[in-house]
Copies of this chain bind each other. A is one copy, B any other.
Amino acid sequence: MQLQNMLRIPMRWACAPGPRQEVVLSSRIRLARNLADAAFPARSTPPSLKRVLETVFAAARRTPALAGAAFMRMDDLDATDRQFLVERHLISPSLAERQAHRGAAVGDGESLSLMVNEEDHCRLAALRPGLNLAEAYESARAVERGLAETLGFAFRRDWGYLTACPTNLGTAMRVSTLVHLPGLSLAGIIDRLLDNLTKLGLIVRGLHGEGTKVLGDFYQISNAAALGRTEGEIIAAVGKAVGQVADREAESRDKLCAGAGKLRLEDLVHRSAAALQGARLLSFDEASQHISCLRMGHALGWKLPGSLGLASELMLITQPAHVQMHAKKELSPGERDAARAALVRERLALVS
> Closest B-chain residue to A281, C-beta based?
B267
Q: What are the residues of chain B within 8 A of A341 when measuring CB–CB? A: 267
Residue A61 lies at the interface, judged by CB distance under 8 Å to chain B: no
CA distance A274 to B275 in the complex (A): 6
Contact B278 A274 (CB under 8 A): yes
Q: What are the residues of chain B within 8 A of A270 when measuring CB–CB? A: 278-280
Q: What are the residues of chain B within 8 A of A279 when measuring CB–CB? A: 267, 270-271, 274
Contact A271 B267 (CB under 8 A): no
Residue A187 lies at the interface, judged by CB distance under 8 Å to chain B: no
What is the oligomeric copy number? 2
Determine chain A's interface SS by DSSP, over half rule: helix
> Closest B-chain residue to A268, C-beta based?
B280
> Closest B-chain residue to A262, C-beta based?
B280
Residue A148 lies at the interface, judged by CB distance under 8 Å to chain B: no
Residue A266 lies at the interface, judged by CB distance under 8 Å to chain B: yes
Q: What are the residues of chain B within 8 A of A338 when measuring CB–CB? A: 263
Proximity bits, A243-279, B CB within 8 Å = 1, else 0: 0000000000000000000011011001111110111
> Closest B-chain residue to A264, C-beta based?
B281
CA distance A138 to B278 in the complex (A): 44
Q: Nearest chain B CB to A312's CB is how many angstroms away?
A: 21
> Closest B-chain residue to A282, C-beta based?
B267
Interface of chain A residues 263 through 307 with chain B (CB within 8 A): 263-264, 266-267, 270-275, 277-281
> Closest B-chain residue to A267, C-beta based?
B280
Of the candidates A264, A278, A281, A338, the one having the most CB atoms from chain B within 10 angstroms of its own CB is A278
Contact A271 B266 (CB under 8 A): no
Interface of chain A residues 300 through 337 with chain B (CB within 8 A): none
Contact B263 A271 (CB under 8 A): no
Would you mind naming 12 contact pairs between A and B with Cβ atoms under 8 Å apart?
A263-B281, A264-B281, A266-B280, A267-B280, A267-B281, A267-B341, A270-B278, A270-B279, A271-B279, A274-B275, A274-B278, A274-B279
11 A-B pairs besides A266-B280, A274-B278 with CB distance below 8 A are A263-B338, A267-B279, A267-B281, A270-B279, A270-B280, A271-B280, A272-B278, A273-B278, A274-B279, A275-B278, A277-B278
Interchain residue pairs A-B with the least CB separation, the first 7:
A274-B278, A274-B274, A267-B280, A270-B278, A267-B281, A266-B280, A271-B278
